[in-house]
Amino acid sequence: MPLDRSHIRRLSMRFDGTAHPAVEMDWVPAQPGDPLQEIDTPALILDLDRFEANLKRMNEFASGARVRVRPHAKTHKCAEIARRQIDVFGAGICCQKLGEAEAMLSGDLTDVLITNQVVGERKMRRLARLARAYAPARVGVCVDNVDVARQLATICQAEEARMEVYVDVDLGQNRTGVQTAEEAVELARILVDSPTLAFMGLHAFSSLAQHRRGVPERRNAADRGAVRTSVIREALSSANLPCDVICGGGSGSFPYEAASGVFSEVHAGSFAFMDVNYARNEPDPGAPAFEFAMFVLSCVMSVGGNERATLDVGLKTFATDCGPPRPTFPGWRVRSVTDEHTVLIRTEDGVPIRLGDKALLIPARCDGTVNLHDWIVAVRNNTVEAVWPVDARGALY
C-alpha cells in the first residue's frame, strides 16, 4: 500500500507553497518491507505482535470483569491505532483535547469522548460544530462547572448540535472535577434540562492511583475513588438523575475499577504500548501483564573508544519526565540526555557498539514520547508492515 502523500511535512515546502525540486519531498523513516535495521533514525517503532497481544490480554480481562474498555487516544494520537482498538474492544475511544477529537473523527472514528472540560466560547463553538458535522457519530465531553454547563447548553442549542456530557468527579487530586454530591446534582440537572445535551453519567479519574508502586497502594487508592464515586451516584439516583455510565481509570488502576462494581467503563491508554514507568509498578497476578511494544530507534552518531556511544536522540525524541529511556540491550547505561544526544556508557563486558549501529530504547513514558513524532513505524518480525501518521501530534488546543 503506498503511503498517503497528504502527510508530507511542511518543511519540504518553499514559502510560496511549491516544492523545491531537489529536496526529499516525502521524508518518512521507512517504507513497508524495510528491515528494522534499515529504518532511518530517530524513529518511533511499534511492535505489532506485542501491541496486538496487549489488546487481546486487556480484552480477555475486561470481558471477564464485564466492563467496557474505551482506550485513551491521548497515548497514541493515531487514528489507525484507534480503529484497531475499536476492532478489539468495540466501544469508542477517549481524547483529552478537542484537537485530538477532530483528528479521530476525521479518521472515521464514530464514538469519541473528551475526558476534559472545554472552556471558552471559541472552543465550545468548535466542539459543537464538530459534533454536528460528524453526527450521528457520538461526541462526548466532561464538565465540572455550572457556568460551563450552561454555556455549553446554549451554544449546542444555537449550533443545533447534540452532545453527550459527563460530570467530572474529583477523586482527591484537586485538579479538575466536582468535590461534592450537591455540585454533581446541580450540574446533572442543567444537562438533563437541556434539549440538546444528554447527561451520560460520571467521569472519575484518579491520576494519583496510576503509579503507586505497590499493588495494595494502587488498589486502595482506586477503591477510595470508587467509594467516592458511588456516593455521588447514589445522590444523583436519589435526585432522580440516574447515571448510565461510570467511567475512568487508567493503566495502573483499571483492574480495581473493573472489580469495584461501580465502574462500567475503563479508560486505560498506556497498556497498549507500555513504558518503563508503568513497568516499575509491582505486577498484580490478578491483572493482565503487558509487554513493551513501543520503542525509539536511534543511531550511534559518535563513539569514544569502546566505552562511550552517543545516540542521535534526546529530549526532543522521548519524554524524560519519568527518567531516561532504557536500552533494550545489556552492558550499557544512559549517562546523560540532552536536546539531541543520549550518551551511553559501557558498564560491563557488553557487546561493542560501533559508529552507525542502530539501538532500540524503551521510553520512560509513552504518551509524551509519541507526541514528539510524526510517524509510527509498525513492525512485525523485524520487518516494517506499515507507517502511520501521528494524526493528532501537537493537537494541544
Count Cβ atoms within 10 A of the Cβ of residue 221 and give its class: 0-12 exposed, 13-18 middle, 19 or more buried: buried
Q: What cell was used for 205?
A: 479519574
323 near a copy of itself, judged by CB under 8 A: no
H/E stretch holding 166: strand 163-170
Interface with a copy of itself (CB under 8 A), residue total 95
In the window 33-72, what residues touch a copy of itself (CB under 8 A)?
40-42
**Which string of DSSP letters, residue by residue, matches 293-330?**
-EEEEEEEEEEETTTEEEES--TTTSB-BTB--EESST
With beta carbons less than 8 A apart as the criterion, state whether 272 and 71 touch. yes
Task: Give the interface segment with a copy of itself, choosing from 46-54, 59-67, 95-103, 224-232 (CB under 8 A).
Answer: 95-103
With beta carbons less than 8 A apart as the criterion, state whether 324 and 305 touch. no
Tell me how far apart the alpha carbons of residues 239 and 29 are, in angstroms, rounded to a whole number.
56
Task: Give the interface segment with a copy of itself, choosing from 98-106, 184-192, 216-224, 254-262 (CB under 8 A).
Answer: 98-106
Q: Which is nearer to a copy of itself, 57 or 123 (CB)?
A: 123
Contacts of 354 (CB under 8 A, 6+ apart): 300, 303
389 near a copy of itself, judged by CB under 8 A: yes
Task: Give the interface segment with a copy of itself, choosing from 111-119, 187-195, 231-239, 282-290 (CB under 8 A).
Answer: 111-119
Could you tell me the smallest distance in angstroms from the CB atom of residue 191 to a copy of itself? 17
Q: Which is nearer to a copy of itself, 67 or 178 (CB)?
A: 178
- One of 2, 24, 66, 382 touching a copy of itself (CB under 8 A): 24
**H-type alpha helices, the chain:** 48-65, 79-89, 98-106, 121-134, 146-158, 181-193, 215-238, 254-259, 276-279, 366-370
In the window 293-312, what residues touch a copy of itself (CB under 8 A)?
299-304, 308, 310, 312
CA atoms within a 13 Å half-sphere pointing along the CA-CB vector of 242 = 1
Q: Single out the residue of 247, 241, 327 nearest to residue 292, CA to CA.
A: 327
87 near a copy of itself, judged by CB under 8 A: no
In the window 126-145, what residues touch a copy of itself (CB under 8 A)?
126, 129-130, 132-134, 144-145
Could you tell me the smallest distance in angstroms from the CB atom of residue 242 to a copy of itself? 25
374 near a copy of itself, judged by CB under 8 A: yes
- One of 87, 321, 348, 349 touching a copy of itself (CB under 8 A): 321
In the window 184-243, what residues touch a copy of itself (CB under 8 A)?
207
Could you tell me the smallest distance in angstroms from the CB atom of residue 307 to a copy of itself? 9
363 near a copy of itself, judged by CB under 8 A: no
116 near a copy of itself, judged by CB under 8 A: yes
102 near a copy of itself, judged by CB under 8 A: yes
